[in-house]
């Protein structure tokens, strides 16, 4: 099975999981290629849900094209489940996210949700987080300061640029992204707290305090479900 087939497989498993919810609930939906599979496969079942909240403009557009009723997060007070991909996940269910630059909205919706279902292929499973560069969404005027702080913590910091590399990548919230390379994240919860306290950081793509409750991981033998206690 190639990587797209694995993403489709876990997305289908996530659909089966969320369709166990009683009808009329809201659902949180993330961003990225695996989340896109989930959106496409869930589309025929959209009437099962009162509406959905989305972690990016790109996902919202895809959802609207399929006819989903997309709610503003401020309209939702009860969110049983959030489904999203990850860039890395460790055996404890801590994740690095934000490869698509949507980390801040992903964090907000993950925090709102009772359960976080992470969907990914087995290549995202790591023993220790940090091989994938850790994304930070920042306020642009703090770039140089935050770069110095993260460099002192042992990271190699790169400002994320657009595809043409001519200007900084701009998030849906108007922020910039710093990708921090070279970290070996042995204490994800502590590092998340530490980076959150740096002035100018909007959010860090470490999902350790709010980790995945259920991991659906696609591999050569099919989908394996791993539950993580909080
Ligand atoms: C976007 C994310 C994505 O969940 C993460 O990058 C995984 O994406 P993909 O499913 O395309 O591998 O955090 O900000």
State pLDDT tens for residues 182-228: 999 999 999 999 999 999 999 999 999 999 999 999 998 999 999 99
Q: What are phi and psi of 176, to 5 degrees?
A: -110, 165
The pLDDT mean for the chain works out to 97
- Compute and round to an integer the Cα radius of gyration of the chain: 17
For the CA of 97, the closest atom of ligand 1 is: 13
Q: Which residues are catalytic?
A: 106
pLDDT higher than 80, residue 163: yes
Q: Which of 30, 75, 25 is nearest to 47 (CA)?
A: 25
pLDDT given for residue 79 in this prediction = 98
- What's the pLDDT tens digit per position in 3-12? 999 999 999 9
pTM for the model: 0.97
3-125+209-227, which class in CATH? alpha beta
Of the residues 9, 31, 118, which should be mutated to test ligand 1's pocket, given the most ligand atoms within 8 Å of the CB?
31
For the CA of 120, the closest atom of ligand 1 is: 10
Query: Angle CA(132)–CA(110)–CA(59) in degrees, nearest 5?
Result: 75
Q: Which of 111, 103, 121, 110 is nearest to 180 (CA)?
A: 103
Of the residues 11, 56, 58, 87, which should be mutated to test ligand 1's pocket, given the most ligand atoms within 8 Å of the CB?
87
Q: Which of 84, 73, 68, 90 is nearest to 32 (CA)?
A: 84
pLDDT given for residue 134 in this prediction = 98
Indicate the domain borders of the chain: 3-125+209-227, 134-200
pLDDT mean over 35-46? 98
Three-class SS of residue 148?
helix
pLDDT higher than 80, residue 230: no
pLDDT given for residue 73 in this prediction = 98
Residue 103 structure tokens? 């980390």
Name residue 75's beta-bridge partners. none
Report the Cα 94 to chain-centroid distance in Å: 11
pLDDT higher than 90, residue 164: no
Contact 31, 86 (CB under 8 A): no
Say how many Å lie between the CA of residue 195 and the centre of ligand 1. Answer: 21
Contact 212, 86 (CB under 8 A): yes
For the CA of 30, the closest atom of ligand 1 is: 4
134-200 placed in CATH 3.30.70.260: yes
Enter the DSSP assignment of 75. Answer: G
Q: What are phi and psi of 185, to 5 degrees?
A: -95, 90
Rounded distance between C-alpha atoms, residue 35 and residue 45, angstroms: 16
Would you say how long the chain is, in residues? Answer: 230
Say how many Å lie between the CA of residue 97 and the centre of ligand 1. Answer: 6
User: Considering only CA atoms, which residue is closest to atom 5 of ligand 1?
Assistant: 86
- What's the pLDDT tens digit per position in 73-102? 999 999 999 999 999 999 999 999 999 999
User: Considering only CA atoms, which residue is closest to atom 8 of ligand 1?
Assistant: 32
Residues within a 6 A CB radius of ligand 1? 30-34, 84-87, 97-103, 106
Residue 129, phi-psi category: left (phi > 0), alpha (psi -120 to 50), beta (remainder):
beta
- What's the pLDDT tens digit per position in 174-189? 999 999 999 999 999 9
Say how many Å lie between the CA of residue 84 and the centre of ligand 1. Answer: 8
For the CA of 34, the closest atom of ligand 1 is: 10
**Environment class of 108 (CB within 10 Å of its CB; exposed 0-12, middle 13-18, buried 19+):** middle
pLDDT grade, residue 229 (50/70/90)?
confident
pLDDT mean over 127-132? 98
Q: Which of 57, 1, 37 is nearest to 119 (CA)?
A: 37
pLDDT higher than 90, residue 68: yes
């Amino acid at each position: 099975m190639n990587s797209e087939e694995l993403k489709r497989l876990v997305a289908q498993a996530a659909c089966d999981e969320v369709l166990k919810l009683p009808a009329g609930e809201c659902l949180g939906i993330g961003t990225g290629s695996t989340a896109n599979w989930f959106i496409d496969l869930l589309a025929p079942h959209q009437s099962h849900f009162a509406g959905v909240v989305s972690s990016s403009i790109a996902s919202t557009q895809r959802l609207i094209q399929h006819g989903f009723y997309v709610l503003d997060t401020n309209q939702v007070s009860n969110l049983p489940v959030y489904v999203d991909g990850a860039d890395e996940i460790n055996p404890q269910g801590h994740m690095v996210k934000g490869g698509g630059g949507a980390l801040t909205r992903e964090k907000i919706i993950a925090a709102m949700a009772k359960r976080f279902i992470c969907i990914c292929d087995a290549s995202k499973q790591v023993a220790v987080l940090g091989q994938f560069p850790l994304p930070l969404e920042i306020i642009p005027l703090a770039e140089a300061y935050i770069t110095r702080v993260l460099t002192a913590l042992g990271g190699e910091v790169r400002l994320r640029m657009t595809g043409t590399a001519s200007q900084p990548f701009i998030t849906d919230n108007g922020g910039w992204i710093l990708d921090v390379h070279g970290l070996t994240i042995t204490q994800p919860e502590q590092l998340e707290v530490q980076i959150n306290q740096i002035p100018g950081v909007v959010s860090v793509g470490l999902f350790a305090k709010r980790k995945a409750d259920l991991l659906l991981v696609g591999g050569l033998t099919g989908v394996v479900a791993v539950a993580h206690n909080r």
